[in-house]
Amino acid sequence: MDICAVNVLTYEEFLEIFGNVVEKCPLIPAAIWTHRPFSSLAEIEAHISDFIDSLSQSGKEGILRCHPDLAGRDHLSGTLTRDSQEEQREAGMTTLEHAELSRLTRLNSAYKERFGFPFVICARMNSKAAIMRQLVERLENSRPTETKRAIEEVKKICHLRIRYIVLSDVPNKL
């Protein structure tokens, strides 16, 4: 699908295809659809980024709360979105050994208790070891610093999801 094909999608088609580029937040692609025609993928991403940046602190935290815990309850119950399932699988988060899973569960709980939202990281850009290391490091951040950092990770995830959708017919898409 190229940018021309994106621009001729109906509202419903656009939401069907782009509705989860920001995890469980179809309102965001719904809001940017009116900016068509898009000149590039970068323009789509810029509109999404601007929308997220325009949100209040509580709105940004709401976006973060839509994300699942890494290797958490949604993974165990099979309710992860297809996108999250693939991203966590690629990062090795779905095949953790018992000790790794126990440690991750404790760290996820500490993180959520401290910040009020799940730890968000672009799994596709990180290894299992890097994810664990960053989780420990980011637990030391202040709430404003961590909210900003987590939103930047949301934008990275969105970037890769958009590229995956639009460039899915190109070999070695990522």
Q: Which position among 35, 47, 67, 75 bears the catalytic label?
A: 67
Backbone angles phi, psi at 131, to 5 degrees: -60, -50
65: tokens are 């709360």
With pLDDT > 70 as the criterion, what percentage of the chain qualifies? 96
Q: Does residue 67 carry a catalytic annotation?
A: yes
With pLDDT > 90 as the criterion, what percentage of the chain qualifies? 87
Helix residue spans in the chain (DSSP H): 3-7, 11-18, 27-32, 41-54, 57-65, 73-77, 82-90, 98-115, 128-138, 143-166
127-164: per-residue pLDDT in tens?
999 999 999 999 999 999 999 999 999 999 999 999 99
Q: Does pTM surpass 0.85?
A: yes
Cα–chain-centroid distance for residue 85?
11
Q: For residue 28, what are the CA distances in angstroms to 22, 60, 156, 160, 162?
A: 7, 12, 15, 16, 13
Query: Domains in the chain, ordered, with CATH?
Result: 69-155 (1.10.3330.10)
